[in-house]
Amino acid sequence: MSLRDQVDRAVDGLQTAAQYLAASNAPLHTYGARPVPSLLSQSLTDIRNVVDHGPAFSLSDLPAYIDAAANLGGTIDDRKLLLEKLLTLMAKLSGESPEFSLKLQQYVIGILYKDLPHPPSGYLALPAPNQQAPVDGSRPVSVNTSRDPTDAYRTKPVNYAYRPADGSDYNPLIPSMGKAGSPYARSVPSLRCLPPASLPSADLVFDKLLKRDEFKEHPGGISSLFFAFAEIIIHNIFNTDFSVKGWTRNNASSYLDLSPLYGNSQEEVNKVRRRDGTGRLWDDVFSDGRLIYMPPAVCALLVLLSRNHNYVAEKILCINERGTFKDIRVCDPATLADQDEEIFQRARLVNTGYFMQIILRDYVGSILGLVRDGSSWRLDPLMSTRDIDHEVSPRGEGNVVSIEFNLLYRWHAAISEPDEEWTEKLFAESMKGVDMKTVSVKDFTANARRAMNPGPDVKKWTFGGLKRSANGRFADADLARILQNATAAPAHAFGARGTPEVLRVIELLGIEQGRAWGACTLNEFRKFMGLNPYKSFLEWNPNESIAAAAEALYHDIDNLELYVGMQAEETKEPMPGAGLCPGYTTSRAILADAVALTRGDRFLTVDFTPFNLTTWGYDDCQADTADGSYGGMLSKLLFRHLPDYYPAGSAYAHFPMLVPERMKEFAKDLPDDVGRKYEWDRPRLPVGPTVIVKPYSEVQSLLAQPATYTSSARQRLEILTGGVHLGFESVGHVLTDEQQLKNAAQALSSLTDALIKKKQLQGVGAHTRYIDIVRDVINLIPVHWLSDDIIGLPLKVEGNPRGTYREQDLYGWFANIGNYVYRNTDPSNDWALREQSQEATREIIRYLKGHLVKLTRGLVNVEGITDSVLHWVSGKNDHSERFLSVLVKATGSQSSDSELDGLANSLLASVVPTAALFSQIIAHVVNFYLDEDKVAQREQIVRLVERDANAEVIPYVFEALRLDPPLSSLLLTAKSAASVAGTAVAKGQHILVDITGATHDPSTFESPKEPNYGRQPRKVADVLGLDRRGLLSRDLFDRVVPRILGQIFKLKNLRRQPTQSGQLTRFTEKVHNVPEQSYCDMNGRLTPFPGSLIVQFDE
């Protein structure tokens, strides 16, 4: 065992003990407060962070901090890497000293935001306040800015914020700031603007300083897909109007509004929208035709964002958070128009939220090397802060992009070899007879305007040789192939002599634009950004050949043009805080611009709220730092929209902007041997399309052959339990022993009664009682029973205030495990669910095995003594010894570690994953019989339970489950070739069983939509897709469920709370054209399990 492993093991042990002590000593009631780690626990976490990631500060950092202190208010030496060291410091302190890291981050963001003036201090031309961006490159259209053009599609005022199509009204005081059709800003007025005759020819500059001599792979492992996404950002904010003299007008807005997808004018937006009341776009469309002539990965990414808009719009309509949306089939035209506009605008806010998150988390995360270094920390320029004088720091004030940053974002040197070949082919086909090695800028722009015209109908646009299907969509396989090719292709390194010759004319255009704009020199820009100006060409680029060529062209370092100077400057090496590795000036300026673009956009800051995006939408576009992508967000889109081609755990999905082979090397230096958890090879193609099975007979047949058509449950259980042999039958025999069944029925009945009495609330001066019957009773029943009587977990309750686990926390563990094992159909959630479930499993097994050791080995060992002490301190609720003793005896388990591991894992795998499903089933049944027309049935159930006629209650239970099944569908995999529902199925092919369809099959159930309490319950049970073990084992289920229902339904005048809280918060959508039911929790997060249902009853 290495020294590091020994330290890790020691720290882990100490952390476990510290967390146990803190939890045991925590107060019984938190009154809504969030738990704070103890000083000891936090200190051990700090030690672990240092072991894993190194110290936050070292002596080698001193020169950079000294230089910054000595030059306050002046310029600094960026070769001392102050910015990189500050970013590394903040990232590492985010775990050790989060408050200090936050304060430091606020200070850095303030500096970066103030790098650029807000509003701009100058423009290339006078802004025209009453202009709208032209649709086709013609003259701008005059508009009345007092009324937003989108108002034409609304019949009444709205109370939600939305993005105007042309980027106007982002600043209420300066409505035209940054709108499409405005002139570029100038950040740095130049005092060294040389006459044209004194400047070298652009051709000569390209040949001597920019032309690629050989391919040099990017040193930081950046993939071609990174630059494909960069193209979307660049085209989002830059669209120079070449019909205007001097190229002064920008036909794009200056905001990250995802205009390449939506457009820069109302006319362009109208082309991509359906306007059918659903707020959706046409399938796989986008607005900016320029991107068709970029490498195909650019458009493939844009199509994902197009699909994501429709996904979000459908969810917003299905969830219908405020209950205002109507069925589009019965809407009048005015209502339909208003509804479509609201859903579209809210979905656009959510989708641009995704765009922003991908920029900050994947794109900037790769720029700073955070993904490569396994850090989930990110710079957050959107946060609300106050300055030291308590003045609110500015946010959402607007933005105007400048010519300096237009010149900065031309990263042609980074183009990959496959993209270089693709570009050569594009120009050869679209510009026949044009020699790209000699063509002039004037001739090229004229030819490009003629040849590169995709046509007016966006629904017919194609790219990369793809074809649309009859429904207008591109094939998932084609999109995945393009994106995975881009991920696998290394980008070229930044720096001098890196641009392919095929892009010569594009570089000439950049040089000529900088001169036409009178752009500042490189040194002027560096001084503006607070960096030391260069004193010589050799300081600018230590490569003597490059420096000598630049000197021959420009003579004086102060004459070096901004564009050329940034392109051919010395580049950074990969290091903490540096992943993109461009030139030093570019590296510093990128962050300032990223902060300005995001912090200046009111729809990403002050108006980025759950009210405007909906609660679900706001939550959906938040990053999950525990999803295996180290804070990335693009993986969520890949998993969501191409699930068959990006399986869970694929490095191609988790790290799409890094070449997988290089990231695999980087992962070797990350803690916990995390690299073994990823699949590094390119994903295999799916065997075939998912086969949908709906008829009852077919569903019953498939579910009756678990060895031939398998779910993922068994495999996931083995992952959780470490692959030990699971003895389900042995545990099942003990759980369903007659005496155990009697004990369980009595215990669960008493638990239900006790929880109702404990959790109910009484209105002031009223005889009505209120209770959240799902959250505080139904979901907690298996938690208490398994903790107290089966496993022996120390619950923190009134009878055991020194317990370790709170009820809702433990339910969260059980729900995560149940979700991971039985539900878990979204690969974007798989990593987090697996990690959380494994952590919960390890903790439960630790307690359970301690109990088993004491029962088999007695007290003459460390584990037995420890278990006795823990029971004495915190286990007053624990009565599990009776059941565990019977289990040990019945299974004949001895005291060896392997046998006890097997027994502990078998028990956990049998009961814990079924707990949340068990609660969901009870919730569905209770919800079904809460309807006002079911009072007679409720009363009948109570009478039957009082007569101990449990068997007669079961038909009522399964009829409710038939009409409202807990699982809407179940995904199976064929273990061998077969024929399913008349369709040939290959080995490994997926089959989606439509459980709702089977339970409503009229050929099996007469009048399937009507309740009939005389149906055979087993006929229903056969197609519910439930794993009949643990709490769902037939004997146990049939014995205890009637007793639980009897306790609930006997409440006097039981009824729903007469508000939305009296209904289950759920919605139904179509997945593979199969209805799928989901729940929303109070934060808008989707969950497979119900979380709340408030009822009331009388004393």
Binding-site residue positions for heme b: 412
Q: Which residues, other chains included, contact 390 with Cβ-Cβ below 8 Å and sequence gap of 6+? A: none
Tokens standing for residue 863:
């584990």
Give dist(CA 976, CA 145) in Å, integer: 65
* Distance set, CA 1045 to CA 31, 414, 784, 796, 942 (Å): 30, 66, 17, 26, 8
Question: Which among 402, 410, 401, 407 has a CA at the least distance from the CA of 188?
Answer: 402
Q: Indicate the annotated binding residues.
A: 412
Give dist(CA 441, CA 1031) in Å, integer: 74
* Distance set, CA 491 to CA 238, 272, 359, 366, 662 (Å): 23, 32, 18, 13, 12
Concatenating the DSSP letter of every residue in 286-309 gives -S-GGGGGS-HHHHHHHHHHHHHH
Give dist(CA 223, CA 203) in Å, integer: 29
* Dihedral sign of CA atoms 430, 433, 437, 439 in order: negative
Q: What are phi and psi of 556, to 5 degrees?
A: -125, 135
Q: Which residues, other chains included, contact 731 with Cβ-Cβ below 8 Å and sequence gap of 6+? A: 887, 891, 906, 907, 910, 911
Concatenating the DSSP letter of every residue in 1051-1080 gives STT-EE-SSGGGS--EEEEEETTEEEEEEE
DSSP label at residue 678: S
What are the residue ranges of helices labelled H in 614-762?
615-620, 634-641, 651-654, 660-667, 696-703, 713-720, 728-735, 738-759
Tokens standing for residue 110:
């303030």
Concatenating the DSSP letter of every residue in 814-835 gives HHHHHHHHH----HHHHHHHHH
Give dist(CA 260, CA 787) in Å, integer: 54
Tokens standing for residue 689:
């399309």
What are the residue ranges of helices labelled H in 860-934?
862-874, 881-891, 897-929
- 935-941 long-range Cβ contacts below 8 angstroms, 24+ apart: 937/1013, 938/1049, 938/1054, 939/1049, 941/1042, 941/1045, 941/1046, 941/1049
Question: Which among 1061, 1063, 832, 1079 has a CA at the least distance from the CA of 968?
Answer: 1079
Give dist(CA 83, CA 848) in Å, integer: 50
What is the number of alpha carbons within 13 Å of residue 455 lying toward its C-beta?
Answer: 7
Question: Which among 965, 954, 956 has a CA at the least distance from the CA of 1013?
Answer: 956
* Distance set, CA 754 to CA 746, 828, 833, 1044 (Å): 12, 39, 32, 11
Q: Which residues, other chains included, contact 217 with Cβ-Cβ below 8 Å and sequence gap of 6+? A: 490, 491, 492, 493
Give dist(CA 253, CA 240) in Å, integer: 11
Q: Which residues, other chains included, contact 422 with Cβ-Cβ below 8 Å and sequence gap of 6+? A: 295, 296
Helix (H) or strand (E) holding 346: helix 333-357
CB-count exposure of residue 960 (10 Å: 0-12, 13-18, 19+): buried
Tokens standing for residue 667:
């992962």
Q: Which residues, other chains included, contact 973 with Cβ-Cβ below 8 Å and sequence gap of 6+? A: 709, 710, 711, 712, 988, 989, 990, 991
| Percent helix / strand / coil, the chain, rounded to 5 | 50, 10, 40
Beta strands 768-772 and 761-762: pairing type?
A: antiparallel
Q: Are 1018 and 1025 in contact (CB under 8 A)?
A: no
Helix (H) or strand (E) holding 142: strand 141-142
